């Protein structure tokens, strides 16, 4: 009796607390709404439009500044209260300077938002997001974003333009480095974790910053992987692949959304009412505000959708783009558009209320300088705890692709190790792209990491990767001809027992505006690899790249391949600890690696087609010169441990929740972590379903010889899909289910959804 009494009391207490919490938040929201409406009533039309205007800081440019943009005009507008937010302002002092102008010199003193691309860290850099996504570790990902927010807020930033949740299947696109790969289920979980990390749990804290999920929507489907290119996708792809991570972001209470450069069904996203009003603010009831991407407003002229900047302003505002970044369209034309009745004042008021509400939620009206604490800037930047977290995330992001004869891990007493490759001695490329706030050459290089761990190494560059130093907005100039240092490297390899080759891409060969038509090792690196292989086959290939690469020759010849991506500040230490066994790799790729660029776009959750083959004659879906399968499939990654799956059990007796059980044994002598993945395939449906869809995963630590049983639950949420009307439907019928170590390897079963 006593036990029941205690439980009941606890339950009552829980219900009471929940009710109270909901009550408090409702009261807070009402209080904020009252303040917003009171302030709005005082504002002139110019001041309202000012809130909808965001200018780039006067120090840094991350996109093409409009032809007519200039700092003098920006300052004038700043003093007149015609600016609601700025971006790329660096340092607490500069932030304070601008905030003081706006708070003290404008009529209403409405504080600014300070935006910045805090993508994978601010000063302390974490692995590029594509790398971190391979950890499948939501807690670690959230922590990385939390630390990024702490450092960004310490330098005055209160708004990050992240997470980028654009699903993509095309490694030619440079921005694959910025997302979480090809799967919407995993991408949704990761995006929500990043938002929770950036925004924290309490906006009154000066380490919480607002997140901005981007780019809404479809940007990752740029045709031919060419950045900013046309996007033309089907309805089912839109609803089932592209939109889910954005919906998950809204459900995770993301405060802002950034629209995208591309068209969707022929209408630029910035001027797309269907996306911004019908879906985002309508169906999903999004309460935050939408910011345009850099200049995406005026780009509607180039798209052929607006005849001039004035019409661009009209189209964007009416379509639900609340704030204009660096088009100058709102600040120049909205007033006359409202006066001419082309844009209703209600559209302006709705946008301004959304923006003001977030400024109140951030506490900026109570203390506009809450993010301007110079002491915090000194204390928190590059804090030891942040460095440690960066190292941990880096270790969790390294994918072991091949380990023939268990050549890895190396023993620390290993002698005669050669290290070859320009990237081994590079302290910049490992930082990756999208790191405007950080400091150049601050990564621990691979060479430094190997020395830190006490490895007995000798280094030879082998070849330059680039022909000249490259600064941020420039094209990387790859060395395509100079092989003058091959001889020295070959000589070293000949007399070495093991050769660690660090090859891949320069940090700025991926990222925005950095698409490639090839997915090979850039420059003369493939030739270098083959030249070394000729004299020493004991090669450990460490890849450092921002996208999947087509490394078919390496996979056929090189015994060990480690995908180390661009791991941020602690790159060298993470790689060294993995090569020498202090870190047991557990990561799994979140984007398929193609055998050749000709297979792209290539992804695991494809449809079966009407001619899946294989057939004896040619009339089935295949190539004459390559197999269909990727080199490495989504979800693939090895460990120093060995995991055995057995005993798949399915309980579909409860139509509301199908239970799937599997047993995993670590048959090795090394404790390790396994990312078990669950995939479904609905055999027959009103819209064809992918041959596989990730609908569950569990990252589990299993000691040597230990066995664990995992349970996965499948509810309507996992089994349903969006029909072509955009409605979520669940259809009865037979499902294949697979639980395993990758999207291509696991135990299979079937169940019936009643
Ligand atoms: C860029 C990017 C966007 C970024 C913005 C501000 O062009 O497309 O992701 O947040 O401009 O830098």
Q: Which residues contact residue 228 at a Cβ distance below 8 angstroms, ignoring those fewer than 6 apart?
A: 222, 261, 262, 513
Q: 142 CB under 6 A from ligand 1?
A: no
Give the Å distance between the CA of 191 and the centre of ligand 1.
17
Q: 189 CB under 6 A from ligand 1?
A: no
Question: Which ligand 1 atom sits closest to the C-alpha of 117?
Answer: 10
B/e letters for 377-388, b = 16+ CB within 10 Å, e = fewer, are beebbebeebbe
Residue 434: left (phi > 0), alpha (psi -120 to 50), or beta? Answer: left
What pLDDT was estimated at residue 725?
97
Give the Å distance between the CA of 211 and the centre of ligand 1.
13
**CA count, 13 A, side-chain hemisphere, 595:** 10
Q: 63 CB under 6 A from ligand 1?
A: yes
Q: 117 CB under 6 A from ligand 1?
A: yes
Q: Which residues contact residue 249 at a Cβ distance below 8 angstroms, ignoring those fewer than 6 apart?
A: 163, 165, 188, 191, 192, 195, 211, 213, 257
Cα–Cα dist 442/458, whole Å: 22
Residue identifier of the C-alpha nearest atom 3 of ligand 1: 293
DSSP string, 100-129: HHHHHHSSS-PPPEEEE--SSBSSSBPPPH
User: Could you tell me where the beta strands, DSSP code E, fall in 231-366?
Assistant: 256-259, 263-264, 267-268, 289-291, 324-325
Q: Tell me what the pLDDT averaged over the chain comes to.
A: 95
Whether residue 601 is preceded by a cis peptide bond, meaning omega within 30 degrees of 0, is yes
Q: How far, in Å, are 58, 413, 533, 538, 590 from residue 494 at the CA level?
A: 54, 20, 10, 11, 36
* Strands lying side by side in the sheet with 693-702: 693-702, 672-682, 733-742, 745-753
Tokens for 516, please give them.
């490639």
Ligand 1 pocket: which of 54, 66, 161, 220 to mutate (most atoms <8 Å of CB)? 161
What dihedral angle (degrees, nearest 10) is formed by the CA atoms of 582, 585, 586, 592?
Answer: 170
Cα–Cα dist 738/478, whole Å: 43
Give the Å distance between the CA of 323 and the centre of ligand 1.
14
Nearest to 716 by CA among 736, 727, 730: 730
Cα–Cα dist 566/127, whole Å: 6
Phi first, then psi: give them for residue 546, nearest 5 degrees.
-110, 10
Give the Å distance between the CA of 403 and the centre of ligand 1.
39
Ligand 1 pocket: which of 54, 57, 62 to mutate (most atoms <8 Å of CB)? 62
Question: Which ligand 1 atom sits closest to the C-alpha of 214?
Answer: 9
Q: Where do runs of H (alpha helix) occur along 340-424?
A: 345-361, 374-380, 384-397
Question: Which ligand 1 atom sits closest to the C-alpha of 62?
Answer: 12
Cα–Cα dist 37/360, whole Å: 12
What pLDDT was estimated at residue 72?
82
Cα–Cα dist 27/20, whole Å: 10
Active-site residue list: 293
Please answer whether residues 607 and 683 qualify as being in contact, where contact means their C-beta atoms are separated by less than 8 angstroms. Answer: no
Give the Å distance between the CA of 598 and the centre of ligand 1.
29
Give the Å distance between the CA of 167 and the centre of ligand 1.
17
Cα–Cα dist 689/734, whole Å: 12
Whole-model pTM: value is: 0.96
What is the SS3 assignment for 626? Answer: coil
Ligand 1 pocket: which of 152, 258, 295 to mutate (most atoms <8 Å of CB)? 258
Domains and CATH numbers, the chain: 25-113+344-374 (no CATH), 393-599 (3.40.50.1700), 643-753 (2.60.40.10)
What pLDDT was estimated at residue 1?
39
- At 343-383, the pLDDT tens digits run 999 999 999 999 999 999 999 999 999 999 999 999 999 99
Mark the ranges of the chain whose per-residue pLDDT is less than 50. 1-3
- At 391-401, the pLDDT tens digits run 999 999 999 99
Please answer whether residues 720 and 729 qualify as being in contact, where contact means their C-beta atoms are separated by less than 8 angstroms. Answer: yes
């Amino acid at each position: 009796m006593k036990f029941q009494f205690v439980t009941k009391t606890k339950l009552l207490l829980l219900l009471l607390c929940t009710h109270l919490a909901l009550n408090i938040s409702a009261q807070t929201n009402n209080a904020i709404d009252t303040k917003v409406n009171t302030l709005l009533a005082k504002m002139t039309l110019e001041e309202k439009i000012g809130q909808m205007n965001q200018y780039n800081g006067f120090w840094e440019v991350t996109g093409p500044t409009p032809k007519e943009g200039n700092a003098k005009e920006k300052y004038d507008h700043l003093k007149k209260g015609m600016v609601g937010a700025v971006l790329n302002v660096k340092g607490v002092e500069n932030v304070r300077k601008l905030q003081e102008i706006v708070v003290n010199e404008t009529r209403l003193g409405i504080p600014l938002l300070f935006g910045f691309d805090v993508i994978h860290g601010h000063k302390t850099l974490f692995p590029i997001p594509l790398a971190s996504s391979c950890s499948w570790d939501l807690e670690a990902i959230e922590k990385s974003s939390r630390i990024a927010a702490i450092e960004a807020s310490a330098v005055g930033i209160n708004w990050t333009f992240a997470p980028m949740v654009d699903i993509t299947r095309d490694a030619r696109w440079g921005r694959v480095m910025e997302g979480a790969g090809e799967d919407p289920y995993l991408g949704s979980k990761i995006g929500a974790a990043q938002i929770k990390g950036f925004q924290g749990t309490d906006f009154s804290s000066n380490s919480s910053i607002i997140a901005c999920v981007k780019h809404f929507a479809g940007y990752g489907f740029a045709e031919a992987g060419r950045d900013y290119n046309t996007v033309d996708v089907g309805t089912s792809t839109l609803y089932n692949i592209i939109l889910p991570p954005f919906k998950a972001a809204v459900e995770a209470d993301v405060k802002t959304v950034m629209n995208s450069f591309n068209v969707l069904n022929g209408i630029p996203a910035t001027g797309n009412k269907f996306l911004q009003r019908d879906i985002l603010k309508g169906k999903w009831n999004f309460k935050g505000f939408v910011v345009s991407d850099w200049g995406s407003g005026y780009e509607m002229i180039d798209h052929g959708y607006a005849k001039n900047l004035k019409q661009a302003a009209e189209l964007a505002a009416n379509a639900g783009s609340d704030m204009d970044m660096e088009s100058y369209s709102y600040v120049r034309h909205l007033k006359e558009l409202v006066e001419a009745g082309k844009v209703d004042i209600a559209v302006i008021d709705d946008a301004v209320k959304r923006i003001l509400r977030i400024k109140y939620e951030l506490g900026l009206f109570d203390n506009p300088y809450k993010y301007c604490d110079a002491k915090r800037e000194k204390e928190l930047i590059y804090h030891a705890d942040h460095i440690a977290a960066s190292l941990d995330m880096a270790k969790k992001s390294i994918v072991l692709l091949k380990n023939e004869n268990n050549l890895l891990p190396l023993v620390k007493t290993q002698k005669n190790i050669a290290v070859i490759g320009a990237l081994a001695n590079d302290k910049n490329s490992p930082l990756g792209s999208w790191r405007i706030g950080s400091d150049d050459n601050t990564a621990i290089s691979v060479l430094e990491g190997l020395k830190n761990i006490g490895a007995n190494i000798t280094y030879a560059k082998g070849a330059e990767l680039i022909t000249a130093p490259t600064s941020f907005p420039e094209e990387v100039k790859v060395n395509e001809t100079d092989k003058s240092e091959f001889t020295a490297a070959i000589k070293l390899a000949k007399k070495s027992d093991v050769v660690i080759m660090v090859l891949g891409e320069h940090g700025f060969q991926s990222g925005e505006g950095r698409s490639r038509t090839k997915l090979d090792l850039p420059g003369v690196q493939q030739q270098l690899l083959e030249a070394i292989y000729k004299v020493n086959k004991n090669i450990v290939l460490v890849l450092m790249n921002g996208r999947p690469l087509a490394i078919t020759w390496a996979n056929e010849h090189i015994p060990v391949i480690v995908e180390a991506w661009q791991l941020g500040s602690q790159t060298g230490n993470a790689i060294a600890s993995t090569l020498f066994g202090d870190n047991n790799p557990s990561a799994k790729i979140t984007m398929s690696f193609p055998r050749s660029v000709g297979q792209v776009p290539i992804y695991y959750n494809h449809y079966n087609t009407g001619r899946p083959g294989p057939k004896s004659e040619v009339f089935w879906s295949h190539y004459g010169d390559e197999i269909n399968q990727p080199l490495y499939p989504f979800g693939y990654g090895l460990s120093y441990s060995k995991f055995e799956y057995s005993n798949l059990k399915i309980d579909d007796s409860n139509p509301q929740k199908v239970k799937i059980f599997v047993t995993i044994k670590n048959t090795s002598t090394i404790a390790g972590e396994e990312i078990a993945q669950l995939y479904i395939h609905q055999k027959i449906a009103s819209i064809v379903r992918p041959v596989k869809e990730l609908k569950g995963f569990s990252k589990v630590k299993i000691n040597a010889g230990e066995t664990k049983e995992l349970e996965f639950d499948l509810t309507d949420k996992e089994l349903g899909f969006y029909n072509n009307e955009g409605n979520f439907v669940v259809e009865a019928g037979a499902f294949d289910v697979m639980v395993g170590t990758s999207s291509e390897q696991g135990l299979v079963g079937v169940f019936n959804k009643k």
